[in-house]
Amino acid sequence: MTQPRSSLLLAPPPLWQRPWLSLKREWMLYHLGDQRFRFMYDPPPDDEWVSVDCETTGLNPRTDQIISIGAVRIKGHRVMTSERLSLLVKPDKAISAEAVKIHGLRERDVANGLEPDEAMRQLLHFIGSRPLVGYYLEFDVALINRAIFPMLGVFLPQPKVEISALYYGWKQRNLRVYEHGASIDLRLATLMSDLQLPTRHAHDAVNDAIMAALAFVKLRRLLETPSDKAV
């Protein structure tokens, strides 16, 4: 007996939604400011994702900026660390002291970084039309959207998969009914050790992206297989 695939795992859209989705796609393409980026709306390659992580000048998605981007592709059960993207971006505002303490990137470290527009171009080409994966992806996506909107007039169109949501779903599935509602610790370190995955030096954009990718690959397999109460 197989369970239905978890809704978290981006099942293909049901038939009755497809006309609407293709209309939406046309609409987005019409608004796309730079037609060279049409590839973002192509059908994604099968069984591939991109895990993304950004380090920033601070923690406010409205005002802070990206200073380094790490991204790594995922193909099936493989984390393609050989196909990774690691960019330093030159921000046009100061990096907060708190942020420097977290990721260790000082202003002088990113002074030779790319211009934000160039970095975004490289990132978008790296992502292509693949769905995005990340840990608290919202924050990263918000920052990227802010950076690409002036260029393209659209936000990131790719589907997005949230690691902490996958993890939450999997934990819920494995908890007994009376334990539901108990708070589940979603901190990255807890999540990684619970999944028995090696942790790397955190707060380096590529390392974080790889950790998220590993967690995704494992959670995906766990969610695809029938539930077992003992993990």
Partner 1 sequence: MPSAFNFNSSPFDCLTSDERQLVRDNIDIAYFREGDVILEPGVAPTHLFVVIKGVVRQMDGDELVVTYGPEDSFDGRALVSGKVSGRFVAAEEVLAYELKREAVNELISSNATFGALLFADLSNKLSALSQRGSQHEMQSITLARVQQATVRPVREVDATLDIVSVARLFQTQRINHVLVRDAASDPPRLGLFSTTGLQAAILHGTPLDRLTVGELATYQLVSVRPEDYLFDALATMIRHRVRRVVVVQEQRISGTLDQLDLLGFLSNHSYLITRQIQDAEDLSTLKEAAQQITDLIALLHRGGTQVRMIARLVQELNAQLFERTWQLVAPHALVANSCLFVMGSEGRGEQLLKTDQDNGLVWRDGYEPPANLAEICQRFSDALTDFGYPECPGRIMISNPEWRQSAGDFGQTVRRWLLMPSAESLMALAIFIDAHAVCGDANLLEGVRDEVFNLLMDNDALMARFAGSINAFDMASGWWNRLLSLGDDNLLDLKKAGTFPLVHGVRSLALAHRINATSTVARIEALAVAERLPADLAGELLDSLHFFMGLKLKVGLAALARGEKPGGIAMDQLSSLDRDLLKDALGVVKRFKNMLYQRFRLDML
> Which tokens in the block code for residue 127?
């992502």
The Cβ-side half-sphere exposure at 165, using a 13 Å CA radius, reads 13
117-176 positions binding partner 1, by CB under 8 A: none
Would you give the binding string for partner 1 spanning residues 195-224, x where CB under 8 A is met? Answer: -xxx-xx--x-xx--x--xx--xx--x---
Q: Is 81 in the site for partner 1 (CB under 8 A)?
A: yes
d(CA 48, CA 94): 36
A 10 A CB-CB count for 181 gives 9
Kindly indicate which of the ranges 9-17, 45-53, 132-140, 192-200 contains the residues binding partner 1, using the contact rule CB under 8 A: 192-200
Would you give the binding string for partner 1 spanning residues 84-113, x where CB under 8 A is met? Answer: x-x---------------------------
Query: In this structure, are residues 132 and 50 in contact, taking their beta carbons and an 8 Å threshold?
Result: yes
Burial class (CB in 10 A: 0-12, 13-18, 19+), 4: exposed
Compute the least distance from the CB of residue 205 to partner 1, in Å: 10
Chain residues binding partner 1 by CB under 8 A are 77-84, 86, 196-198, 200-201, 204, 206-207, 210, 213-214, 217-218, 221, 225
